[in-house]
Amino acid sequence: MAPVVERASSAPHFLVVTYPAQGHINPARHRAAPGARVTVSTAVSACRKMFSDHADAAAVDHVDGAGVRYVPFSDGFDAGFDGDITDYISSLKAVGPRTLDSVLARLRDAGTPVTQLVYTQVVSWAADVARAHGVPAVLYWIQQATVLAAYFHFLRGTDSLDQAVAAAASNPWADIRVRGLPPMRVRDLPQGRSTGDDHHTYAFMLRDMRELLDVLGREDTPTVLANTFHAMEPDAVATLSQSGIHVVPIGPVLSFLDASAASASNNNNNNDLFKLDGKGYLEWLDAQAAGSVVYISFGSSSAMSKRQITEVARGMAESGRLFLWVLRKDNRSEVDGDELKLCAGGGMAVEWCDQAKVLSHPAVGCFVTHCGWNSTLESVACGVPVVGVPQWTDQGTNAWLVERQLGTGVRAAVISDKDGVLEAGELRRCISFVTLDVVRAMAELWKEKARGAAAVGGSPQGVRCRGGRPRRQLASRLVGHLACMALFCKQTEGRRTYETRRLAPYRTVDVASVRTTEKNSALYPR
């Protein structure tokens, strides 16, 4: 057995430490590249959900269906947490470093010492743990690079951005200029900006970003691996680089683009925080016409109110369109049955599904989404037009990218109250718009760009490693980079106005023949 341990200890070993949320875990877990190993470490509570078949998911290490190894740390709430987010973050910062230190020590003593630690946002304290063990650490930014640029310039007060945002905070339509980025509005900026209230729901985000930038500031050459690709966010990459942060685009990091980038059907990693619904939704999709189904999902964290569920159900019933709707079990208590009866016979509601397989299915022609970054990347890589219904954090910025930069979708208008409800009529109108041929063409164009970037590691020039060959597998891209480092609307007196304009900076679709009507509207406001 000794030779085996020796070989294991000499091989590169990458530990990826991530926050225990589905949107953080997904881009963190990927198969080890040949000659290296990758271990994922997230909270015990998440591992218990992902490996619920095990008697004690916290006591042992796990390997999921895709061959990824998990070694959990504790956040102080091993049984799970359903309280105030600020209380959770405080516990995570207090307990997490101590238990992660034990993880690194245990891996070292087992003959598989960590040679490089990769951490995602919210767990930037992992970099200090790595430093204490003499292990180099690098940030893996799993959101849009534009979000990082906006936070950076806001917190640094670049061009008095912080003051400009504070002055315009009450007007979501106010124009804001962030150095190096295309024009934005207040509503397009990531949430978590200064609220003046340390107990505000989003206050922890701003504190976390300050801590993250402080960690990067302690590095001689701050470097960030970003789950994006250069053609999609050249301005964000450039402005961060000019500000001293070297951003390496390695995306789109999506499991179904692994290896040959062929089909999501080869992805067998089903260890999500939610169990897949046993209904035959893929078989149901097989029976539908190409592009005929509207896929609806607001992600793993967003909760839908009873009012919102009713509006979505009514909108789909009135549209007469087929749909596949993810309505999580923790949302079902809000449903008394009448809402789903409104659209009975028009589609299927499931508790959870394999989203990559759904978006890759030819029957799906539209995606109604909360615009989480993973969902946004998946929609782009699958060529599916988007109706964006952002709710918090980075989602408004992701919707801005889809609508204003890519031209592959539209941000829906919601009622301006604390719930931000998407009404049935607006849902119908947005779906009608994004299923126009001109939007489909843009979605197909960006699908080609995304898959081309995936083949060469996120850069249009390709990413070449020591052997000179492009790294083509997703995990190989991540490991390779580490080794190489050693539209449409505006409010006008309560009405909607439209006009035809260019779709996006990278557009190649001729829209000279596109007529400007309410049914064939433009992506951009005046």
| Residues known to be catalytic | 24
Q: Do residues 472 and 479 make contact, with C-beta atoms less than 8 angstroms apart? A: no
Looking at the DSSP bridge assignments, the partners of residue 69 are 39, 63
Burial 255-282 (b: 16+ CB within 10 A, else e): bbbbeebeebeebebebbbbeebeeebe
Nearest Cα residue to 443 out of 398, 408, 404, 488 = 408
CA distance 182 to 161: 14
**Among positive and negative, which fits the CA dihedral 70, 74, 80, 82?**
negative
Nearest Cα residue to 391 out of 354, 429, 422, 356 = 422
**Among positive and negative, which fits the CA dihedral 108, 111, 117, 118?**
negative
Looking at the DSSP bridge assignments, the partners of residue 225 are 140, 248
Instruction: Give the pairing of strands 62-63 and 175-176.
Output: unpaired
Q: Which helix (H) or strand (E) holds 208?
A: helix 203-217
Q: Do residues 402 and 488 make contact, with C-beta atoms less than 8 angstroms apart? A: no
Q: Which helix (H) or strand (E) holds 395?
A: helix 395-400
Q: Do residues 115 and 12 make contact, with C-beta atoms less than 8 angstroms apart? A: yes
- Write the CA distances from 217 to 86, 140, 224, 515, integer angstroms: 25, 15, 12, 51
Q: What's the number of CA atoms in the CB half-sphere (13 Å) around residue 182?
A: 15
The tokens describing 79, both together, are 């049984």
Preceding omega of 182 cis (within 30 degrees of 0)? no
Burial 370-404 (b: 16+ CB within 10 A, else e): bbbbbbbbbbbbbbbbbbbbbbbbbbbbbbbbbbb
CA distance 399 to 389: 8
Q: What's the number of CA atoms in the CB half-sphere (13 Å) around residue 119?
A: 22
Nearest Cα residue to 66 out of 227, 270, 263, 261 = 270
**Which residue type, as a one-letter code, is found at position 222?**
P
